[in-house]
Amino acid sequence: MRFKHNKMTSKYAPEIPVEPWIPPEETKLGDTVNWAPLYTLDLEQIKGEGFSEVPEQVIRDTGDALANVGFIYAINHGLSYDQVLRQYSIGQHTFDKIPEQDKKEYTADIINSGSYCGYKQIGHWKIDQVADRIEQWNFGSAAYAQEVAKRKYPESLRPFLDEIHEFARFNHDVVVRKILSVISLVLKVPYDYLWNLSKKYETEGDDFLRYMLVHRPPAEEDAETKGVRIQGHTDFGSLTVLWSQPIASLQVLGKDNVWRTVGHRPNALIVNLGDSLHFLSGGYLSATIHRVIAPPEDQLKYRRLNVLYFSMFDNDVKLLPIPESSVAQEAYKTRKFWEEREKNGEPVPTSREWNGLRISRYGQQHSKLGADGHHHEIIAGHHVTLYNDTQPQPEPKAIAAA
């Protein structure tokens, strides 16, 4: 592992000045926010060659948390907070200093390619008729090779690619790999089982690192969406790693149907699992619904910058319960994932097919509002729900104050 020093500033692109990102102030509204109590996984406890050693208690507790809540904190990942802040600073730079013309030219063809790799424009997604206010740069793990990078990223951004690549690799090779070890053991298969399905990420995977900037919408748009910036959804892949930042906008939907806000922990990670791991675990592990809403009143003035890594299984992995996992097989007894497809004699989707379909369809208004108040859509014969509030909610304070 090459990360050793506290600062990553000098080695890469030293000729380009990058303004430091100053973390916004945390909310002072403390107890008025309904915080989500999440289990904390200490990554330092996962040791050994290929991360083969995981204490029994860690397997049990992480397994329970991922089966029930679906979101955890992870600490002691091995990077200093300075290194993480450097990533936020580069993220900020990519939104504020890359010319608009470059963003336009390198906008990803999300609908046709089923990949976010490149720039995502504001307004690509819609909730009902309201366009989103979110910019993103997505760095596909298979797009750092020079000939690909030239097509995907403007020259103004290319000097940062080696540094972004190294950070993305750390996400995959250390954070994701460690957690996949734990989850393999939860599913009672060898520790490297899930890693072996995730190793080809730079050649045959859809994995990507994302910088994301949520702008504040005009008051009338916020009123229309009730402050929802990203509608309640599950992620598509195996694991999502969020590098914690202070704006308290991420909410998870509990099994009790209550939305709770995930609190910020400096230099911690927030990790959740996506559809693909839900499928491989026979439904034992939860791909929990989450959304992004307007922050508490005292943070409403800030833009929200976030750094995330989305890990996927290798392209050809079939999204079926792991045959060797007694846990997955037991959980699957009461479920069916691909009944409709199998009935039509169609093959079970692969990781690549599922990611591609979900990515190209998301936010394109293919879903229909149901009597339950949520939006519904059938993808590859599978029922996907995009969650709204089902009970009238009080106007979010942040909106009422706008």
Binding site for Fe ion (CB under 5 A): 235
Q: Is the separation of the CB atoms in 285 and 277 below 8 Å?
A: yes
Distance CA 377, CA 375 (A): 7
| Backbone angles phi and psi of 232, in degrees to 5 | -55, 125
Nearest to ligand AKG of 63, 237 (CB atom)? 237
Nearest to ligand AKG of 192, 206 (CB atom)? 206
Nearest-CB residue for ligand AKG = 250
290 binds ligand AKG (CB under 6 A): yes
The pair of three-digit structure tokens given for residue 172, joined into one six-digit string:
């995959």
288 binds ligand AKG (CB under 6 A): no
242 binds, among ligand AKG, Fe ion, none (CB under 5 to 8 A by kind): ligand AKG
Q: Give, in order, the Cα–Cα distances in Å from 190 to each of 52, 53, 193, 327.
A: 9, 11, 5, 13
Q: Identify the residue whose tokens are 């797009």.
A: 143
3-state helix, strand, coil in the chain (%, to 5): 30, 20, 50
Nearest to Fe ion of 235, 314 (CB atom)? 235
306 binds, among Fe ion, ligand AKG, none (CB under 5 to 8 A by kind): ligand AKG
Nearest to ligand AKG of 235, 314 (CB atom)? 235
How many helices (DSSP H) and strands (DSSP E) are in the chain?
A: 13, 17
Size of the site for ligand AKG (CB under 6 A): 8
287 binds, among ligand AKG, Fe ion, none (CB under 5 to 8 A by kind): none
Sole binder of ligand AKG in the list 92, 281, 299, 306 (CB under 6 A): 306
Pairing of strands 39-42, 71-75: parallel
- What crossing angle do the helices spanning 177-186 and 56-68 adopt, rounded to 10°? 90
Per-residue binder mask for ligand AKG (CB under 6 A), 243-282, x = binder: -------x--------------------------------
Nearest to ligand AKG of 233, 382 (CB atom)? 233
Nearest to ligand AKG of 172, 210 (CB atom)? 210
Name the burial class of residue 203, with classes exposed (0-12), middle (13-18) and buried (19+) by CB atoms within 10 angstroms of its CB: exposed
Q: How far is the CB of 233 from Fe ion (least distance, A)?
A: 6
120 binds ligand AKG (CB under 6 A): no
Q: How far is the CB of 234 from ligand AKG (least distance, A)?
A: 9
Nearest to Fe ion of 60, 126 (CB atom)? 126
110 binds ligand AKG (CB under 6 A): no
Q: Identify the residue whose tokens are 């009080």.
A: 394
Q: How far is the CB of 388 from ligand AKG (least distance, A)?
A: 15
Q: Is the separation of the CB atoms in 300 and 245 below 8 Å?
A: no
Nearest to ligand AKG of 152, 290 (CB atom)? 290
Helix ranges restricted to H, 153-211: 161-170, 177-186
Site for ligand AKG in 182-221 (CB under 6 A): 212
Q: How far is the CB of 270 from ligand AKG (least distance, A)?
A: 7
Q: How many CB atoms lie within 10 A of CB 100?
A: 7
305 binds ligand AKG (CB under 6 A): no
292 binds, among ligand AKG, Fe ion, none (CB under 5 to 8 A by kind): ligand AKG
Nearest to Fe ion of 93, 290 (CB atom)? 290
Q: What angle do CA 358, 244, 257 make, to 5 degrees?
A: 60
Sole binder of ligand AKG in the list 179, 292, 307, 331 (CB under 6 A): 292
Distance CA 98, CA 153 (A): 11
Segment holding 127, helix H or strand E = strand 126-127
Nearest to ligand AKG of 244, 315 (CB atom)? 244
Nearest-CB residue for Fe ion = 235
Distance CA 230, CA 207 (A): 21
Q: How far is the CB of 370 from ligand AKG (least distance, A)?
A: 22
Distance CA 139, CA 137 (A): 7
- Which residues lie near ligand AKG (CB under 6 A)? 212, 230, 235, 242, 250, 290, 292, 306
